[in-house]
Structure 1
Amino acid sequence: MNEVKPANFLRQWIHWIMLGLIAWGVFLGFGAYLYGGKYAGLKAVIIAVCAIVFVEFWWLMLIARERRMARLAEKKGS
């Protein structure tokens, strides 16, 4: 039987969630560009960059957690 490990399942969902957050930020940036009035381009760039930085920060934190968990599992195995 083909079983999916919870960690792999969660990792796949995390990638989709992060991609959705980036798309949401770009969508909001596009809306700010269209309806932003004065400095619309600057507002759009700031919104999109903030969304990308937010997702990148959490991606780095997840990588750090994964490495830490691997080290802890290695210590328990020794």
Structure 2
Amino acid sequence: MLETLRYLVGSAGASGYGSKSTAEQVTENCRDLHSITAIITGATSGIGAETARVLAKRGARLVLPARNLKAAEDARDKDFIGES
């Protein structure tokens, strides 16, 4: 139960990151991901979209599967690198 409470308040775990850590913080030491291909499920919105944005910013090649063609097209058309 104590571990659950620590998670909920965002305390860092063994990795140094907690539930309040951002994708920017987690990848700040990974400036060049050009050699990485990432498959990100749920990348049409929410956490998946934020993950896609940050990995694209770092240079990763992205594969974004989606169940909805319109949402997939919208995600494809986003300028992830240009967003802040």
Report the TM-score, using the length of structure 2 for normalisation: 0.23
Larger fraction in helix: 1
Which has the larger Rg?
A: 1
| Greater strand share, structure number | 2
TM normalised by structure 1 equals 0.24
